[in-house]
Amino acid sequence: MSENPDNNSKTSFQLNPWGDDLVADEDYIRLCEEFGINMVQELEIPYSAFEKNRFLRRKIIYGHRDLGMILKAIREEKPWAILSGIKPSGQFHLGTLTTASEMVEFQKMGGKIYYAVADLESYADNGTPLDIAYKYAVDNIADILTLGLDPKSYVYLQSREQIPQDMVFMAGRHVTNNMMKAIYGDRDFALYMAALVQVGDILLPQLMDGPMPTLVPVGIDQDPHLRLVRDLTRHFKYIKKNRKTKKEISSPLFKPAATYHKLLPGLDDVTKKMSKSRPNSYFNLGDDPIEIEKKLKRAFTGGRGNKEEQKKLGGVPEKCMIYKLLQIHFQPDDNKLQDRYLRCKDGMLCGTCKKESIQIIMDFINEHNEKKQEMVPLAKEILSRDPKTFSF
């Protein structure tokens, strides 16, 4: 994130969806106010609405745009979509795990998943050749299937799907260079194009299957894409031909809704985002378990300066990377998570806590990787399915 250098812009922050910046805790509220993101806690709905979704239940998702529209569709038992995606440029890491798990949690609330494998964006951003991206895609889809993705979900490669590709031209008619610069800053032209491809991804569920509320669960750094697509939605319509009369009926689309989670800091330094340039800041699920354990042992905690202080004052789980990992990913049991929180506050020593927690995390990862092997053939089959969309 950086200060917006464009003096004419109404905003003072510029979020970079392709960057490594971490948003400081104190900036989240300011960002929400500045970009018109609403707080989930202000939605006046019963707790039971969030019961099935651990990211909402545990308040990991804190911001939203039009989440009320999705909750209304659930209440009225109407169809709604979840759109998410992955850039296939490497193995699953803790960041990609967050968005993928969120999507699966929303699936439990009744949404149909549309999942973009963003191989074109991977080429634009990382220079990953499409054949290499395909190999990562198989690996990534096997991970998500292991997490619980419904195999009937619509999973597609950007490079094979017509709507996202056509959208570069269709949406391109409605944007100016200044507009892209104000939203994204000065970027390579290929990244502006990748952003327009993403407009196609986000609108694909409605352009393909008809207007319906669509939810995009993201980290706050991806908000520029949401602002762009919400602004452009009014230019597109779902067109259906009446079989008898042959007349075309066009219907407007819903502005896509979004939820926002905070960005996960590095394991080694909570003031910086996880980044490939700092190997101790993150791990991939497929890494050597011994190496993962080493990184976890070195992870930043919310422990006090010494044993006496810890026993007297208790730890600070809110600042602890070990606690965050359990809360977001690796401790599915709410009661056990709450118990650890209370024991930490009560003065449990970090050494004891880390030992127990690392065991929980490693058990999860080992079990995940074992199950994942069985999912590889299904992942290949899903990626070989014919694309469904053509020009629109």
Binding site for ligand SF4 (CB under 6 A): 301-303, 315, 317, 320, 322-323, 344, 348, 350, 353-354
How far is 101 from 339, CA to CA, in rounded Å? 23
- Beta-ladder partners of 297: none
Output the smallest distance, CB 295 to ligand SF4, in A: 14
AA identity, residue 371: K
Which CB atom, from 94 or from 195, has the smaller least distance to ligand SF4? 94
- Beta-ladder partners of 2: 14
Output the smallest distance, CB 313 to ligand SF4, in A: 11
Output the smallest distance, CB 330 to ligand SF4, in A: 13
Phi-psi region of 235 (alpha: psi -120 to 50; beta: other; left: phi over 0): alpha
Which CB atom, from 286 or from 347, has the smaller least distance to ligand SF4? 347
Which CB atom, from 50 or from 323, has the smaller least distance to ligand SF4? 323
Output the smallest distance, CB 304 to ligand SF4, in A: 8
Output the smallest distance, CB 367 to ligand SF4, in A: 22
How far is 168 from 165, CA to CA, in rounded Å? 6
**Closest by Cα among 144, 367, 354, 345 to 267:** 354
Which CB atom, from 54 or from 340, has the smaller least distance to ligand SF4? 340
Output the smallest distance, CB 318 to ligand SF4, in A: 9
Which CB atom, from 224 or from 317, has the smaller least distance to ligand SF4? 317
Which CB atom, from 222 or from 301, has the smaller least distance to ligand SF4? 301
Q: What is the 3-state secondary structure (H, E, C) of 141-208?
A: HHHHHHHCCCCCCEEEEHHHCHHHHHHHHHHHCCCCHHHHHHHHCCCCHHHHHHHHHHHHHHHHHHHH
Helix or strand or coil: residue 60? Answer: coil
Q: How far is CA 376 from the centre of its chain?
A: 22
